[in-house]
């Protein structure tokens, strides 16, 4: 396949039709994200940096995003290349584009979670890591009783 015309782009948000294409990409290739709603992905993108899109003309064929504190830790999420474009080096370029963003370039440790693609990430330089395996699934958490919140340097009691 000739992938020389594939464009990689950093984005801050996606237009509605682009979000719909992303949902289609997830349905085609991302088992963990195949039931996501476009409104929810808009929220995830707004809170991620960088976000990378791969385009074949106007067709969205790749996506990846990271969350990061800019210096110590970052995590890469939702790495996907459309099935028709896999195996041509685009996944590697997608991840490298995430890692190459200035917001990621000083990060001490970049994490990711994967159940099936360890071999792919190893080719890019990631190592197996067995020390960070805890997770908290979403749940209704009891509000913390009386505590002190500091906003803009002003302490106030909240209950």
Task: Please tell me whether residue 86 binds ligand COA under the rule CB under 6 A.
Answer: yes
Task: Please tell me whether residue 42 binds ligand COA under the rule CB under 6 A.
Answer: no
Task: Please tell me whether residue 110 binds ligand COA under the rule CB under 6 A.
Answer: no
Select the residue interacting with ligand COA from 12, 89, 125, 158 (CB under 6 A).
89
Q: How far is CA 68 from the centre of its chain?
A: 10
Alpha carbon distance 20, 46 (integer Å): 16
Select the residue interacting with ligand COA from 73, 106, 109, 123 (CB under 6 A).
123
Task: Please tell me whether residue 44 binds ligand COA under the rule CB under 6 A.
Answer: no
Task: Please tell me whether residue 79 binds ligand COA under the rule CB under 6 A.
Answer: yes
Strand ranges (E), 12-138: 51-56, 59-68, 73-81, 109-112
Mark the segment that binds ligand COA (CB under 6 A) among 43-51, 83-91, 134-142, 146-154.
83-91
Task: Please tell me whether residue 88 binds ligand COA under the rule CB under 6 A.
Answer: yes
Q: How far is CA 144 from the centre of its chain?
A: 30
Number of residues that bind ligand COA (CB under 6 A): 18
Q: Which residues pair with 8 in a beta bridge?
A: 54
- Using alpha carbons, list the distances in angstroms from residue 82 to 29, 46, 48, 56, 87: 6, 23, 21, 11, 10
Burial of 59 (C-beta count, 10 Å sphere; 0-12/13-18/19+): middle
Mark the segment that binds ligand COA (CB under 6 A) among 6-14, 15-23, 78-86, 147-155.
78-86
Residues that bind ligand COA (CB under 6 A): 29-30, 79-81, 86-92, 114, 116-117, 119-120, 123
């Amino acid at each position: 396949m000739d992938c020389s015309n594939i464009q990689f782009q950093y984005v801050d948000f996606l237009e509605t039709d682009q979000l719909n294409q992303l949902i289609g990409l997830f349905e085609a290739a991302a088992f963990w994200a195949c039931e996501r709603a476009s409104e929810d992905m808009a929220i995830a993108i707004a809170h991620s940096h960088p976000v990378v899109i791969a385009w074949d003309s106007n067709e969205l064929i790749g996506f990846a995003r990271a969350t990061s504190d800019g210096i110590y830790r970052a995590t890469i999420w939702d790495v996907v290349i459309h099935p028709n474009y896999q195996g041509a080096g685009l996944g590697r370029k997608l991840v490298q584009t995430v890692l190459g963003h200035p917001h990621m370039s000083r990060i001490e440790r970049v994490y990711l979670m994967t159940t099936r693609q360890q071999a792919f990430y190893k080719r890019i330089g990631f190592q197996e890591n067995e020390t960070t395996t805890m997770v908290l699934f979403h749940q209704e958490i009891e509000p913390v009783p009386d505590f002190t919140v500091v906003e803009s340097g002003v302490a106030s009691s909240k209950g």
